Amino acid sequence: MQLDAQAFLRLVETQKTLMTWDTEATGLRGDYNSILVVSVKPFGQKPQTWSVAKPGQDKALVTAVKATLDTADCWVTYYGKGFDLPMFNTRLLRWGLEPLRAVHHLDMYYMLRYRLLTARRSQGHLLDWLGCDNQKMSVGAETWNDVLSDPQALDILRKRCESDCKGLEDLYRRTKHLVRQITT
């Protein structure tokens, strides 16, 4: 049986198996960098956030987050197919763990890139332009530089990651009517 995308989205929303998620990491490559924070937000619920005790030691984090993400029927990310998913799977591989199972994955960056004609494509710009309640939290360069030595910097990244998930759900709610198909 084939469901159209809108019927599928209504189903996973109702079942709370649609989850927005976001990662914050020490850099852009999973072999030289590690994950610091991950937030997962089941549709309509509060985000759950995991963070490392010490940068570089993300095995417990990726293990716990994997258990949650593997319960989803649909993920919603922003550039997650380009960064979050490959970074996460790279870190799982580093620790000898299986990759995340393939689920329907709605990457809002790619979906909106081909359906809107805006001057900028960033999540922050779209949230601002659409007047969403949850806006992208800005984090300065010093916070990123201090994350390896200052626990307060990690707290800021936790808040940012949660705000990204909340904003992403707002963006999804405002634009989900544009979704025509969802791939893994």
**C-alpha closest to that of 173 among 140, 117, 127:** 127
The CATH architecture assigned to 5-178 reads 2-Layer Sandwich (3.30)
User: How many CB atoms sit inside 10 A of residue 162's CB?
Assistant: 21
Q: What is the mean pLDDT of residues 11-38?
A: 95
At residue 27's C-alpha, the angle toward residues 24 and 33, to 5°, is: 100
pLDDT in tens, 48-98: 999 999 889 999 999 999 999 999 999 999 999 999 999 999 999 999 999
What confidence category does residue 149 fall into, taking pLDDT thresholds of 50, 70 and 90?
confident
The answer on pLDDT for 146 being more than 60 is yes
User: Judging by beta carbons within 10 Å of its beta carbon (0-12, 13-18, 19+), is residue 80 exposed, middle or buried?
Assistant: buried
Domain limits, the chain: 5-178
Mean pLDDT across the chain, nearest whole number? 95
pLDDT computed for residue 1 by the predictor? 55
What confidence category does residue 145 fall into, taking pLDDT thresholds of 50, 70 and 90?
confident
The answer on pLDDT for 147 being more than 90 is no
Q: Percentage of the chain surpassing pLDDT 70?
A: 99
